[in-house]
Copies of this chain bind each other. A is one copy, B any other.
């Protein structure tokens, strides 16, 4: 049963459709004209200025909220996350003090909420993996043989992670042509609907993390759009995996929804048809009942659910350390594209259009891949009774290539 909503002294936070009720309290980094970047919490249509709260003695996080990224606070650890969340719930509740340092969100600039240490992207939706494999490799090799046995992923590029609202330049690159490789602007630009899990604790080189330990290490989640150049990808990706096709930009939402806020919505994921090796066993359901979707130029294109996924972020994080690889605060783990079985549940145009063969219609016009000027917006929320825990938008507009 989904829980009922506590109420906030901020009236807009109590609206049923609001992404940021007091049950959410997502963290981000913001600035207002003439002021420095600092940490805040979204509440309704306002931001609680956490740096100001610390300066006024309303809250104590060791000064970490004055930093221009969330890493310092995140590194303080789970006990601190819990203590500060409880304090914020009191402050913003109906009995909280009335003189809080609140800022209008629409007057603020939202920045990248964390310094991304390293970025890893997984491939954990069975529907997506099968659909894409079918297009790239044919029916016999669509689902790689190890896919049901391990959460496969690749290291992405942290330097190209940007915050929602940043323009996304159509990349140039090498693609396969009739007379050999061709240098061209990408002709098959795509989005990928994902969540990103944010690692909240370091691990030691040589140590492996269990799935329950990994759960404890995850601070929260963002929406994540892993923009992809499909023609560049097809030419470059064998045998070492995607490289420049995924390095143009990865957009994340400005607000980090904490694991604590999602906890009431915990659910099991997709059924498994193989036994897992013990290191991947979960002691509780690893997913959340999260509605996720995306729109193109304002038209909703697809809607699916995080429970469609086969591998949880905790399993991905545990697998990430099997070789002894050390993880760090601020590591960002993309879930992989989240797709359901039907075309209107797919998280990428590649799948939705069957590799560009079956156009879809956007505001009446046929479309296969992204065009210059297109505005992509991801959305996501967990629906409670009379309230929802949402991420806010994760948007990006396609800018023309620079030949």
Contact = CB atoms under 8 A, between A and B. Distances in A.
Given A149-B181, A180-B149, A324-B169, A244 B319 contact: yes
Copies of this polypeptide in the complex:
2
A244 B118 CA distance: 15
Nearest to A239: B144
Contact of A159 (B149, B322, B325): B325
Interface string A158-192: 11101000000101111010001101000000000
Question: Interface residues of A toward B: which range?
Answer: 35 or more
A402 interface: yes
B157 A154 contact: no
A213 interface: no
A322 B162 CA distance: 18
A51 interface: no
A325 B150 contact: no
Contacts of A133: 239
A150 B248 contact: no
A188 to B, nearest CB: 13
Contacts of A239: 133, 136-137, 144, 237-238, 241
Contact of A183 (B146, B171, B278): B278
24 contacts: A118-B157, A123-B240, A136-B239, A144-B239, A146-B181, A150-B236, A155-B155, A157-B325, A159-B327, A159-B328, A160-B205, A160-B325, A162-B205, A169-B206, A171-B323, A172-B323, A174-B277, A180-B274, A206-B402, A232-B323, A240-B242, A247-B320, A248-B325, A249-B324
Contacts of A236: 146, 150, 152
A240 B174 contact: no
Contacts of A146: 174, 176, 181, 235-236
A244 B325 contact: yes
Interface in A379-403: 402
Interface string A1-33: 000000000000000000000000000000000
Interface of A: 117-118, 123, 133, 136-137, 144-146, 149-150, 152-160, 162, 169, 171-174, 176, 180-181, 183, 205-206, 208, 229, 232, 235-245, 247-249, 274, 277-279, 319-320, 322-328, 402
Nearest to A155: B155
Contact of A240 (B154, B169, B278, B326): B154
Contact of A150 (B174, B327, B328): B174
Nearest to A175: B146
A249 B326 CA distance: 10
A144 B235 CA distance: 10
Given A117-B159, A157-B325, A160-B325, 19 more contacts: A118-B157, A118-B158, A137-B239, A146-B236, A149-B180, A150-B174, A152-B243, A154-B241, A155-B155, A159-B325, A169-B205, A171-B323, A173-B323, A183-B278, A183-B279, A205-B249, A238-B239, A244-B319, A244-B323
Contact of A324 (B117, B154, B238, B248): B248
